[in-house]
Structure 1
């Protein structure tokens, strides 16, 4: 994803460097409305005409993608809301902070596991390119089920973000003028170097001309591959690189039929020629903005939407709570504000307060899938998996969330774990398979599906998933999957030995099941399945901490332990792999950091202990 200001940049920060106080945002004298199209919700104060235009543009992009990618799913597995501001002043109140100041941008994609936002400044000439790039990433998740390299992720998104539509045709693959200028002014990377860039590379994350060229050239490479019908050969390339660990140069030669040096030459000639193909297709039919439904929003309802954006941004979470509280002082029964404040308390592990606000939200709007999902998530955090009496209510909430939004993947994942805990592995398997089908690139879902396959005595299916996850770009996922893969292979061997000995395959009684599971994985319907299945629970959102690094222990590479003092409290922060931790503001991790001011995103793993997400 992108992370700086212009077309080539991802418009959200991985790391919060500071937190500033921004006035609570209310609707003021603007009339906020909601525009509902068949697949999108647009909330705007830029007027009905611009609201309808915004919804229409996203419907067009979705339809064009559906035509071009006939086997792809165009349903996004996380609820998406589009907010279109009438001017830059309003937009700045929701922009990520850098050194305490809002980043200047025209569009922003804000992603989370429960809800995502696309935010636009309608006063600029072209607010679409940045958010279309990010929306293309979301659509890409329905096309690819496996890991690919960063250059293809970004090049693919850039290619499809260029969609233009008029009354006659839709055009895909028109290269923006910015890309020409960037490559002409800054030169080009060698293709082999471009293909080596990973998400933790400085070229990908740090501002400057190298990253500018990376995004521009990635888009140009994908253009070239499409124009020359080479896209199908990428399956072989990524198999060579990611499955067989073949060097980049050899993988290029074997899959694309040219050396890396020859690829450099043809790409330079391609760029300098200025002759690029684009694909015209008929304008998608039946996209009529005049048929969209609009409704005015009350000041409280529009303010609740804006506070929800702040809640899903690391820079503004504390401010969001104050905004929800102010809304509820004016409108005590506002369902959206109750839902938002409840989720804020859930993130803080304040379960009693969260439960109170979720109950009030359900009383105000029982048709909100997020209220039901949050209520079930709260029960899971409170320990419902360990209390069988709580599981029926939890499952009821998840069934309701799914009925209200069948494309929302998270409720299926949580439902699978609840069903496993309730002793119904057959249903648990179906639910987790559905979660994976909706979001096939979610590695947590796939890992949990592999574990459920083990519990249902299907080791071959589990092994196939774990072999892929063991090559994950995430060191943590790869390590966990590698360990699980070894156990799955041992389990399969044990089953085969039993079958050869005529003992059976262990699929009989609970006693037989436990006897065959020498590695400790099995289903005992009379007890809590949590003791037998090691799943990745739905993670809590990362927490944020500012403090000072006092010392770093690097004695057990690649791990590192940071001793961080913040607000008079001392933390032990674990870094699983210091060579691959996400860094902002430093070229590389240093074991010599001392008395170093730092800001961390982390997940708490114990009292005063956390696992670092980014530094």
Structure 2
């Protein structure tokens, strides 16, 4: 048995976009009273794009909602990129005492989240919020900062933003003030006041762009050293963006850098090509820019300029029942899953609204329904055409199927078919239902390759808006390849590489480069003195037949990637070597352009992987082979890049070996401590990381986590 609503531990639907903190240690949670929170005077203020629910004074909430509407309007006009339209964004805006009721860190100021399951929402602390648009303070800057993250990410074009760019742009745009008929950005001192952290003890501006551009993500903890590093990161990111916004040419270079990053180039190559400078030269330019007067950008807000819209708002007072409905929907997204406050809000809301679909689905997601299947099934009979309810029930079935699939338990196929039928019906009832598309796309990661790909493509293309994981882009690329849409497959693999900020799957770069050459070979090149030049900038040197590469030759890209070996009728075929700019290399068989047959893959020194020898299909391990990592040696059968079947693992620092069954990259451990664990093996031969636990005393499969061979809390942040 398995719980249909037991969320997969490695798949988090909710995706927090950012949390902006100050340099204050995290607060300790203490006893709170939910009734005290709910029984305050709550109001709702609505505008075309926002719904603010707050217990703060009306004039404060009105000011915030106008600021947000202004930023949305200006950003969509100036950036040249539109955010997606959708229902108004719900923001619960609270004072410090209400924040403390939730047990949240006192240094939290604002956070936005987006998910396919329940859309998007935000939580904000708005003590001492600026009362006019021509002033800025920490609260106002924080809200605008966080909302700008939302604008960047909730977009029709799924774009990967390096952390420094994402944070720096949001810092820059959060400095908005509207004054004297102008909207101003970039005034020093406005907003968070990051300037002090740019300078060292000798009052010298300290820019380290190599560190800045290559920092994949920020780590927030309660140590002073970490806080200082975060503060320096924000300061450098803000003024790097400030510098690149100071002239049209620099803005063009910045746009080119982002384009190259999303083409899968490494940071080093993207910086070199876009900025045409070394990190040291960039440091010097940034230091000189900060030393002289920085450039402030201004846009007219009159009829001949941006013409800021007149924002109309409506205000209503919420009764106790309506307040519970809003808080139970929004607040549990931001507090700990085991929070008593969240559980009390959800349970009380359900008592107040026993037949409400949202109240029941929220309780189901948080495992607060005794029998979610029966409860939701009964609701479905009452509301047969409710698309949201259908999608939630189908997602529960998909989760249940995924548990079986990833643990080798029979019976997942009927669940997939039932879920697919429900997702399809939900989409027919509501073509804009995001969870239905998300779930339908993810079903196709389990379905056999004989299934038509179009439906899976439509689903995954929506899923990556809400959860842009490399695995989702990888699955989307496979479907595009099956559909013979090479350019779209290449775009998806570029995204898989760009979103893999920690380089956890370097094989993606190999697949991407393999598709780069196949797309080039299917285009019309221009002959030149060296051979053939392609629109991508790549050059072919070698023998030709009928104007196409045929025989021995070499294809080279400007970034340093290349293929050298045999060509047949314009495509790599036979024996060849493909070397990626990111350091991954393959030598072996090629068929009809793709690495296919037997071959050898080597990985860059920084990768956890060392080498692979064996069967290959479409540039990933497929068939029998040997994978060597820094944690050990695995000889196994592989499917689409994952060990899947019988195999033997020898830990790098452990005694003996482990032979048995692998299921899509996870080892099914023998029973120990009355549990069968399906998960990872560390370099000492111990159970490690997120996985599934099957109790030998029952048939229940539960998500679990191991560290050092001991079961630990499932939401622990590290696996070391």
Assess same fold via TM > 0.5.
yes
Alpha-carbon distance in 2 for matches of 1:469, 1:300: 44
Q: Is the 8 A contact 1:604 1:610 kept in 2?
A: yes
Alpha-carbon distance in 2 for matches of 1:52, 1:535: 53
Does residue 343 of the first structure (1) align with residue 362 of the second (2)?
A: no
Does residue 391 of the first structure (1) align with residue 420 of the second (2)?
A: yes
SS in 1 for 2:299: strand
1:257 Cα deviation from its structure 2 partner:
4.0
**For residues 170-189 of structure 1, what are the structure 2 equivalents within 5 Å?**
170-177=183-190, 178-184=193-199, 187-189=205-207
Per the alignment, do residues 237 and 491 of structure 1 end up closer, same or farther by CA in structure 2, a change over 3 Å counting? closer
Per the alignment, do residues 198 and 424 of structure 1 end up closer, same or farther by CA in structure 2, a change over 3 Å counting? closer
Does residue 191 of the first structure (1) align with residue 205 of the second (2)?
A: no
The counterpart of 1:297, out of the listed 308, 315, 318, is 318
Alpha-carbon distance in 1 for matches of 2:469, 2:350: 36
Does residue 138 of the first structure (1) align with residue 146 of the second (2)?
A: no
1:82 Cα deviation from its structure 2 partner:
0.5
RMSD: 5.1
Q: Is the 8 A contact 1:33 1:297 kept in 2?
A: yes
The counterpart of 1:81, out of the listed 78, 86, 90, is 90
* Partner in structure 2 of residue 209 of structure 1: 228
Q: Is the 8 A contact 2:141 2:174 kept in 1?
A: yes
Q: Is the 8 A contact 2:212 2:233 kept in 1?
A: yes
Q: Is the 8 A contact 1:170 1:282 kept in 2?
A: yes
1:220 Cα deviation from its structure 2 partner:
0.3
Q: Is the 8 A contact 1:171 1:280 kept in 2?
A: yes
Does residue 117 of the first structure (1) align with residue 121 of the second (2)?
A: yes
In the alignment of these two chains, the number of paired residues is: 522
* Partner in structure 1 of residue 398 of structure 2: 380
* Partner in structure 1 of residue 252 of structure 2: 232
**For residues 457-606 of structure 1, what are the structure 2 equivalents within 5 Å?**
457-459=484-486, 461-470=488-497, 472-474=499-501, 478-479=505-506, 481=508, 555=653, 603-606=690-693
Alpha-carbon distance in 1 for matches of 2:482, 2:37: 52
1:224 Cα deviation from its structure 2 partner:
0.6
SS in 1 for 2:34: coil
Alpha-carbon distance in 1 for matches of 2:510, 2:271: 31
Deviations 1:346-393 (A, max 9, x none): xx9x8x733345457768989986544323311322338634355333
* Partner in structure 1 of residue 7 of structure 2: none
Alpha-carbon distance in 2 for matches of 1:476, 1:258: 24
Does residue 153 of the first structure (1) align with residue 256 of the second (2)?
A: no
Deviations 1:545-577 (A, max 9, x none): xxxxxxxx7649xxx999xxxxx9989796799
The counterpart of 2:438, out of the listed 408, 413, 430, is 413
Q: Is the 8 A contact 2:38 2:323 kept in 1?
A: no
In the superposition, the TM-score normalised over structure 2's length comes to 0.60
Alpha-carbon distance in 1 for matches of 2:58, 2:93: 11
Alpha-carbon distance in 1 for matches of 2:77, 2:222: 31
Q: Is the 8 A contact 1:26 1:299 kept in 2?
A: no
1:318 Cα deviation from its structure 2 partner:
4.1
Per the alignment, do residues 56 and 237 of structure 1 end up closer, same or farther by CA in structure 2, a change over 3 Å counting? closer
1:335 Cα deviation from its structure 2 partner:
4.6
Does residue 425 of the first structure (1) align with residue 453 of the second (2)?
A: yes
Deviations 1:420-454 (A, max 9, x none): 96955334434444555x56955444223212213
1:158 Cα deviation from its structure 2 partner:
1.1
* Partner in structure 2 of residue 511 of structure 1: none
Alpha-carbon distance in 1 for matches of 2:331, 2:97: 16
Greater CA drift, 420-429 or 303-312: 420-429
Alpha-carbon distance in 2 for matches of 1:256, 1:394: 46
1:84 Cα deviation from its structure 2 partner:
1.4
Alpha-carbon distance in 2 for matches of 1:416, 1:197: 31
* Partner in structure 2 of residue 266 of structure 1: 285
Alpha-carbon distance in 2 for matches of 1:432, 1:246: 25
SS in 2 for 1:106: strand
Per the alignment, do residues 37 and 223 of structure 1 end up closer, same or farther by CA in structure 2, a change over 3 Å counting? same
Q: Is the 8 A contact 1:155 1:219 kept in 2?
A: yes
SS in 2 for 1:207: helix
Alpha-carbon distance in 2 for matches of 1:482, 1:204: 36
Alpha-carbon distance in 1 for matches of 2:212, 2:395: 41
More helix by share: 1
Q: Is the 8 A contact 2:394 2:420 kept in 1?
A: no
1:120 Cα deviation from its structure 2 partner:
2.3
1:217 Cα deviation from its structure 2 partner:
1.2
Higher relative contact order (CA 8 A, sep 6+): 1
Per the alignment, do residues 318 and 197 of structure 1 end up closer, same or farther by CA in structure 2, a change over 3 Å counting? closer
Does residue 23 of the first structure (1) align with residue 47 of the second (2)?
A: no
Computing the radius of gyration from Cα coordinates, the structure with the larger value is 2
The counterpart of 2:106, out of the listed 103, 106, 128, is 103
SS in 2 for 1:376: helix
Alpha-carbon distance in 1 for matches of 2:146, 2:681: 29
Does residue 129 of the first structure (1) align with residue 141 of the second (2)?
A: yes
* Partner in structure 1 of residue 134 of structure 2: none
1:207 Cα deviation from its structure 2 partner:
2.3
Query: Runs of 5+ in structure 2 lacking a partner?
Result: 1-16, 130-136, 402-411, 523-566, 574-591, 593-615, 621-638, 643-650, 655-664, 668-672, 695-702, 707-713
The counterpart of 1:46, out of the listed 45, 56, 64, is 56
* Partner in structure 1 of residue 717 of structure 2: 614
Q: Is the 8 A contact 1:233 1:255 kept in 2?
A: yes
1:90 Cα deviation from its structure 2 partner:
0.5
1:41 Cα deviation from its structure 2 partner:
1.8
Does residue 327 of the first structure (1) align with residue 327 of the second (2)?
A: no
Greater CA drift, 300-309 or 108-117: 108-117
Per the alignment, do residues 58 and 435 of structure 1 end up closer, same or farther by CA in structure 2, a change over 3 Å counting? same
1:132 Cα deviation from its structure 2 partner:
1.9
1:160 Cα deviation from its structure 2 partner:
1.6
In the superposition, the TM-score normalised over structure 1's length comes to 0.68
1:68 Cα deviation from its structure 2 partner:
0.5
Alpha-carbon distance in 1 for matches of 2:65, 2:674: 48
